Structures are given as C-alpha cells and as structure tokens.
C-alpha cells in the first residue's frame, strides 16, 4: 500500500480522537471502548490483507513512512494527489481560437473605387484638415480607431492611407509583421519617383540607443516571439529636413500590430523650424486579413497658419508614406521567402 494512503488513514484517526476529546463528556466509558474497537476493525478494512500490528508498531511505521515520503516531496505529492483525486475527471483548458477577419469586417463601407485604389501600387490616400472629415471609417466592432488615437497631438492636418498587399507564397502572421518592421536600416534603400526619376529622400536610417543617447545601434536579429509592446528610437537623415528623430512605440493587439512614430525633437525644413517636438505622429496598423495584408495608416501634424500658408508639407509626407509602404512590403516579401526556404 502507498505510504500516503496509510498517512491519510492515520490523519482520520487523529481527527476522530480530536473530536472525541472535544465532545467526550457525553460519551460513556463503555461506549468509548466499543467505538474505538469498531473503528479499528473498520480501519483494518482499509489495510486489506496486511498483517495486523499493535498500536505502537502502527505509529512507528507511519512515522517512518512519512519521513521517507517527505525526503522525496514530489513523489509524496504525487501519491497524495492519486489518493484523493484519482477518480476526478481530467481538467481541460481550451485556449480561444480566433479566425482571420475579412476586409469587410474592418471596413464595411468601402466603395468599388476605394477598393480599386487600395489594391493599386500607391494605395488609397486622402489628405484633409482638422475641420474636414476622413474618408475611411472602420467598423465599431473592429477595435481600430487610429483617428481617435492621433488626436492627442491636436493636429491641424491629417493624411489617411489604405493598402492591401496580396499574399504570395503563404499567409503572413503577426511575427512576420513584427520582424519586417524591425529592419530599420533598410528604409534608406527606397526612393520615391519625382518627375520620372528615382529620388532618395531618406539618405540614412538607423536605430539609436535612446532619446538622450543618439549613438547608432544595429538592428536585432529576427525575433522568435512577439513582445507585448516595445519602444525603439530611430534617426532618419533626409534631404530637406536633415536629421529626423522618431520614437517608435509598437503594440500588439488581438488581430494586428500598431506602429506609432512620433518626433521627439523639433523638425526643420531647409533649416527653418516648422514643427515642434511631439507634433508629428504616424500610426501604422497592420493586420493579416483573409484577402491579404492590410496596411492602414493615419498621419497627423500641427502647423501654425502662418507656416502652413507658406509651406505645403502634405506632398512631402505623402512621399514618405510611399517610402514606408515600399519598405514594409519588401520586408514582408522577405519574411515569406525566409519561411518558404525553411
């Protein structure tokens, strides 16, 4: 017999002794003798065919068995579990499984023209001021509210964009997206088309240590697990702006990844200060949907009227949106190829 079962029986003996001493005044000596005789006769039933032993031997044996059990705590706990829970049904915990959403579940009111532009190389874009309305509206059940999230900088101008990238070799997942966004050093390799010619607006792109330590650091190796959230710091050297320092906040949601980029220093345009720190923000939301990879962006910036009347930054920001779109697309294609080669 297992030591834990003997110990359990001994425990009940002690329990009845305790109860007897508490309520023993109402039990006669004759009843006491009969009670304990019947108990130990009944107790022998638990020991089945083991040879009888006197009380002193029983206690010595139980103490020895208990000491041996506690020397191996794992075995003791396993035997105890088997004794009391052997007949219990197994406990099964099922993790919820979420199916990939469709494009219509996120943007239910897209017109045929918007769908055609969304699937084009440049994607669907719309520039508007704070007094105007956006073109794109997500479903209230989608859990996506980029325009609400960008209002904390109190923008004067906004640009929304929507692109759908079809899958090639396989469907992409959130880890693919995260690793594609991690290749910051590749941003500088993407030109924009100006007057029929390729023009490199961003001449250098790198991670930096932090907002206070701007030492360049290398991109990490592709991750094997998704973080819950992450903050990185980026320096982009541009032709017209010079050094653009951005803080990138990455957050993982149920269906997608949101990449928020905000300037943590002032922005200059041809050495003229045009935008204060924390007044430019781009939100990039990426989600694998059944039709392909959805890239939905919202950019907002604040310009005083006397600057916005003289400097039109919307075309410049549109060009940078195109650079980021091409960078993300190629990064995702690379993830597809790496996965296919494994």
Same domain, 109 and 72: no
Residues 80 and 112 in one domain: no
The domain of 35 spans 3-85
- Is 95 within the bounds of a domain? no
What is the average pLDDT across 65-77?
Answer: 49
Three-state secondary structure of 299-318: EEECCCHHHHCCCCCHHHHH
Identify whether the C-beta of residue 258 lies closer than 8 Å to the C-beta of residue 240. Answer: no
Residues 197, 205: Cα–Cα separation, whole Å: 21
Q: Which residue has the higher pLDDT, 75 or 35?
A: 75
Residue 247 covered by a domain: yes
Q: Which of 38-42, 237-241, 270-274, 301-305 has the lowest mean pLDDT?
A: 38-42
- Of 32, 51, 85, which residue sits at a domain end? 85
pLDDT (tens digit per residue) in 74-99 = 554 455 445 444 444 444 333 344 58
Mean pLDDT of the chain: 78
Q: Which of 41, 56, 85 is a domain's end point? A: 85
Is 168 in the same domain as 312? yes
Inside any domain, residue 161: yes
Say if CB 279 and CB 302 are below 8 A apart.
yes
Question: Domain check: are 196 and 137 in the same one?
Answer: yes
Instruction: Note whether residue 92 is domain-resident.
Output: no
Percentage of the chain beyond pLDDT 90 is 51
Average pLDDT over residues 9-31: 46
> Cβ(295)–Cβ(162) under 8 Å?
yes
Give me the CATH number covering residue 320.
3.30.530.20
Residues 181/257, Cβ–Cβ less than 8 Å: yes
Return d(Cα 127, Cα 145) in angstroms, integer: 17
Residues 140 and 73 in one domain: no
The per-residue DSSP string of 170-183 comes to S---HHHHHHHHT-
> Within this chain, do residues 286 and 213 fall inside the same structural domain, yes or no?
yes
Pure H helices in the chain: 3-23, 29-46, 55-71, 73-85, 103-106, 112-118, 146-149, 174-181, 305-308, 314-341
Name the token pair of 120: 């084009």
Query: What is the band of 58 on the pLDDT scale with cuts at 50, 70, 90?
Result: very low
Residue 98 belongs to some domain of the structure: no
Give yes or no for residue 106 having a pLDDT over 50.
Answer: yes
124: left (phi over 0), alpha (psi -120 to 50) or beta: beta
Question: Which residue is listed with tokens 């003996």?
Answer: 13
Is 93 domain-assigned? no
pLDDT digits (tens, 9 = 90+) for 225-271: 999 999 999 999 998 888 999 999 999 998 999 999 999 999 887 77
Residue 43 included in any domain: yes
312 exposure class (CB count in 10 Å sphere: 0-12, 13-18, 19+)? exposed
**Same domain, residue pair 177 and 76:** no
The pLDDT score that the predictor gives to residue 24 is: 47
User: What's the rounded mean pLDDT across residues 312-323?
Assistant: 83
Render pLDDT for 200-210 as a digit per residue (tens, 0 to 9). 999 999 999 99
Residue that wins the pLDDT comparison between 37 and 217:
217
**pLDDT, average across residues 24-51:** 42
Sheet containing 202-208: order of strands: 124-129, 157-165, 292-301, 280-289, 257-263, 242-252, 229-238, 202-208, 216-217
195 in the same domain as 75: no
Stretch 129-155: mean pLDDT, rounded?
Answer: 93
pLDDT of residue 141: 92
Domain membership flag for residue 96: no
Whether residues 70 and 111 share a domain: the answer is: no
Hey, which residues does 283 pair with through a beta bridge? Answer: 260, 298
pLDDT for 8: 47
Domain boundary among 85, 114, 140: 85
- Do 62 and 111 sit in the same domain of this protein? no
Q: How many domains does the chain have?
A: 2
Q: In this model, does residue 196 exceed pLDDT 70?
A: yes
> Quick one: 42 and 127 in the same domain?
no
Comparing C-alpha atoms, which of 70, 82, 17 is closest to residue 43?
17
Average pLDDT over residues 283-299: 95
Residues β-bridged to residue 296: 162, 285
Do 114 and 185 share a domain, yes or no?
Answer: yes
């Amino acid at each position: 017999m297992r030591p834990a079962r003997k110990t359990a029986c001994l425990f009940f003996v002690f329990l009845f002794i305790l109860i007897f001493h508490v309520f023993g005044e109402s039990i006669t000596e004759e009843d006491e003798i009969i009670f304990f005789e019947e108990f130990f006769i009944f107790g022998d039933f638990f020991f089945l065919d083991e040879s009888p032993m006197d009380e002193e031997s029983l206690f010595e044996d139980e103490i020895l068995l208990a000491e041996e059990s506690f020397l191996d705590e794992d075995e003791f706990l396993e035997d105890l579990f088997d004794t009391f829970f052997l007949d219990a049904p197994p406990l099964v915990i099922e993790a919820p499984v979420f199916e990939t959403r469709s494009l219509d579940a996120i943007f239910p009111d897209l017109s045929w023209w918007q769908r055609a532009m969304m699937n084009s190389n440049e994607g669907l874009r719309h520039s508007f001021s704070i007094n105007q309305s956006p073109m794109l509206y997500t479903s209230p059940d989608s859990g996506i509210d980029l325009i609400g999230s960008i209002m904390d900088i109190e923008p004067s101008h906004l640009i929304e964009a929507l692109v759908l990238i079809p899958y090639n070799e396989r469907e992409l997942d959130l880890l693919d997206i995260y690793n594609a966004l991690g290749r910051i050093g590749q941003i500088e390799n993407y030109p924009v088309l100006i007057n029929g010619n390729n023009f490199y607006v961003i001449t250098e792109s790198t991670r930096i240590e932090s907002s206070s330590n701007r030492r360049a650091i290398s991109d990490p190796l592709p991750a094997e697990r998704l973080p819950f959230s992450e903050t990185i710091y980026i320096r982009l050297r541009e032709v017209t702006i010079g050094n653009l320092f951005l803080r990138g906040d990455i957050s993982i949601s149920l269906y997608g990844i949101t990449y928020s980029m905000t300037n943590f220093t002032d922005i200059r345009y041809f050495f003229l200060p045009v935008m204060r720190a924390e007044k430019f923000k781009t939100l990039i939301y990426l989600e694998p949907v059944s039709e392909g990879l959805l890239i939905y962006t919202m950019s907002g910036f604040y310009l005083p009227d006397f600057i916005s009347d003289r400097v039109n930054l919307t075309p410049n920001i549109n060009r940078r949106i195109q650079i980021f779109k091409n960078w993300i697309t190629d990064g995702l294609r690379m993830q597809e190829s790496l996965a296919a080669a494994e």
